[in-house]
């Protein structure tokens, strides 16, 4: 990908295409670690990460919270006509993406253009803006990592979309989903994401969980069958999250979603899109979630952000924590990366970060942090005793009986007999502190 693409107006004036200048540079508008052409573990950083910009946080979210309205004044949101406004927003988005050098973007249907008041008006709006997006993608080389439908903001979805107890809402969700799939396919989207939105419940007292899960699975089958019939070859991803907005989200965490996919025969078409702050809300680390998904062959994509240790919200901050990221990148490299997805910055600026250039600082920081973490993880894997130590912890399973155990060739009686012969196990240290020191040494 090459040159910067602006519309009639340049929105991020004075900011050139962001270049890699190395860690000695004091230029806040330069990468210190993310050299997209640097080869690490056999691939360039650009190929490893496939970074994506999230349309909703970066070009739509103006910073409103329960205590006050938005604080950000977006010059691309000035026009009242939804068509003209959507075009301006798309000009700003592609200018930003080409300046930051992100090869991909992600959207919800009504991030691209405001929602109208009927299905036919919405189809018209999406036709219009996806025609324009196709032009912009062609001119810039930026590609669509995934599309999705916003099936949670409109009040009609207050009781859920696919899991709504009212069939007419489920049908409405289906119509919207069809349009979002059409838009994704038209724009050569590589994947399609289902985040649960309000698919969950506030109280079991008014909820038939079995019916709701059956309905959700039915809708996912219909979506998959429709998209395949339209030639969509990409992956479907489910994005786990344990809570927020509902008290209990059905797609709680990776393990829960894997069980759901198996139960409802969706496992061949769906993988997972894991998000850091969702993992921590579920009382897991992101690296735990990545490992669980990878064990099932389902580590599809990642939403990059971070939470806050002092509260329990989905704060969606930009990722900067190198220790956390390095541990994630260890798993990332060990399991062979993502399957079809990329790293999408599902992260938002703080409410009081109100300058347009803050969007650059945030993404530069996130891309640099991932790059530094991946380079560190690769050094740990190739130069330190980390991998050997981890493998050696399980070396006893290479013994004759250990192998028989793994192959299912021992009965419980034989296992008991072997234990009698082996005697009491010796204590073997897990050496956690030693390994933690290795991470800090290589950072």
Closest distance of CB 308 from ligand XUL, Å = 15
Note whether 111 binds ligand XUL by CB under 6 A: no
Closest distance of CB 147 from ligand XUL, Å = 10
Closest distance of CB 121 from Co ion, Å = 28
Among 98, 148, 191, 249, binds ligand XUL (CB under 6 A): 148
- Cβ-based nearer residue to ligand XUL, 113 or 375: 113
- Cβ-based nearer residue to ligand XUL, 88 or 303: 303
Among 72, 99, 143, 241, binds ligand XUL (CB under 6 A): 241
- Cβ-based nearer residue to ligand XUL, 74 or 195: 195
Note whether 324 binds ligand XUL by CB under 6 A: no
Alpha carbon distances (Å) from 251 to 95, 216, 255: 35, 11, 9
Peptide bond into 245 cis (omega under 30): yes
Note whether 239 binds ligand XUL by CB under 6 A: yes
- Cβ-based nearer residue to ligand XUL, 4 or 281: 281
CB-based contacts of 229-234 (< 8 A; 24+ apart in sequence): 230/181, 230/182, 230/185, 231/185, 232/181, 232/184, 232/185, 232/192, 234/146, 234/189, 234/190, 234/191, 234/192, 234/340
Helix 254-263 / helix 286-295 crossing angle, nearest 10 deg: 30
Q: For residue 335, give every residue at least 6 positions away whose Cβ sits within 8 Å of its Cβ, in sequence order, or none.
A: 290, 291, 294, 299
Would you name the residues annotated as active-site residues?
108, 111
Question: Among Co ion, ligand XUL, none, what does residue 289 contact (CB within 5–8 Å per kind)?
Answer: none
Could you give the CA distance from residue 395 to residue 316 in angstroms, rounded to a whole number? 41
What DSSP assignment string belongs to 285-330? Answer: -HHHHHHHHHHTT-EEEEE--B--TTS-S---BPP--HHHHHHHHH
- Cβ-based nearer residue to ligand XUL, 40 or 362: 362
Among 76, 105, 195, 270, binds ligand XUL (CB under 6 A): 195
Question: Among ligand XUL, Co ion, none, what does residue 192 contact (CB within 5–8 Å per kind)?
Answer: none
Backbone angles phi, psi at 191, to 5 degrees: -150, 165
Note whether 346 binds ligand XUL by CB under 6 A: yes
Question: Among Co ion, ligand XUL, none, what does residue 95 contact (CB within 5–8 Å per kind)?
Answer: none
Question: Among Co ion, ligand XUL, none, what does residue 314 contact (CB within 5–8 Å per kind)?
Answer: ligand XUL
Using CB under 5 A, list all residues that contact Co ion: 275, 303, 346
Note whether 95 binds ligand XUL by CB under 6 A: no
Could you give the CA distance from residue 115 to residue 118 in angstroms, rounded to a whole number? 9
Closest distance of CB 106 from Co ion, Å = 9
Could you give the CA distance from residue 97 to residue 93 in angstroms, rounded to a whole number? 6
Closest distance of CB 244 from ligand XUL, Å = 7
Which secondary-structure segment (H or E) carries 53?
strand 51-54
- Cβ-based nearer residue to ligand XUL, 142 or 145: 145
Residue in this structure with the two tokens 């008041």, named with its chain if needed:
117
The contact set with ligand XUL (CB under 6 A) reads 108, 148, 193, 195, 239, 241, 275, 303, 314, 346
């Amino acid at each position: 990908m090459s040159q910067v693409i602006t519309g009639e107006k340049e929105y991020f004036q004075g900011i050139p295409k962001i270049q890699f200048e190395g860690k000695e540079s004091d230029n806040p508008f330069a990468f210190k670690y993310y050299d997209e052409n640097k080869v690490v573990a056999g691939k360039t950083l650009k190929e490893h990460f496939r970074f994506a910009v999230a349309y909703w946080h970066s070009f739509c979210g103006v910073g409103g919270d329960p205590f006050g309205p938005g604080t950000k004044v977006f010059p691309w949101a000035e026009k009242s006509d939804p068509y003209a406004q959507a075009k301006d927003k798309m000009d700003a988005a592609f200018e930003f993406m080409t300046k930051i050098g992100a090869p991909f973007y992600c959207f919800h249907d009504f991030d691209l253009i405001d929602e109208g008041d009927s299905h036919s008006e919405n189809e018209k709006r999406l036709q219009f803006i996806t025609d324009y997006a196709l032009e912009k993608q062609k001119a810039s080389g930026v590609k669509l990592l995934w599309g999705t439908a916003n099936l949670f903001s409109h009040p009609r979805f207050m009781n859920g979309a696919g899991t709504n107890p009212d069939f007419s809402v489920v049908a409405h969700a289906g119509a919207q989903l069809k349009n979002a799939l059409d838009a994704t396919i038209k724009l050569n989207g590589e994947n399609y994401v289902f985040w649960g939105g309000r698919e969950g419940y506030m109280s079991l007292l008014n909820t038939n969980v079995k019916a709701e899960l059956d309905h959700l699975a039915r809708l996912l089958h219909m979506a998959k069958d429709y998209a395949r019939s339209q030639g969509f070859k990409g992956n479907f991803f489910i994005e786990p999250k344990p809570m927020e907005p509902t008290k209990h989200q059905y797609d709680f965490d990776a393990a829960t979603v894997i069980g759901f996919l198996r139960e409802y025969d969706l496992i061949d078409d769906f993988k997972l899109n894991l998000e850091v702050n969702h993992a921590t809300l579920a009382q897991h680390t992101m690296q735990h979630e990545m490992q669980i998904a990878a064990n099932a062959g389902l580590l599809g994509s990642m939403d990059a952000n971070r939470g806050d240790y002092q509260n329990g919200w989905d704060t969606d901050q930009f990722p900067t924590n190198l220790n956390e990221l390095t541990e994630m990148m260890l798993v990332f490299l060990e399991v062979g990366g993502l399957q079809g997805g990329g790293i999408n910055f599902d992260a938002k600026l703080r409410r009081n970060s109100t300058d347009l250039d803050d969007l650059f600082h945030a993404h530069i920081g996130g891309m640099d942090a991932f790059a530094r973490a991946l380079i560190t993880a690769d050094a740990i894997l190739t130069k330190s005793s980390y991998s050997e130590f981890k493998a050696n912890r399980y070396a006893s399973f290479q013994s004759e009986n250990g192998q028989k155990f793994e192959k299912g060739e021992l009965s419980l009686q034989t296992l008991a007999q072997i234990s009698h012969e082996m005697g009491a196990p010796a204590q073997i240290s897990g050496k956690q502190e030693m390994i933690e020191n290795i991470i800090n040494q290589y950072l």
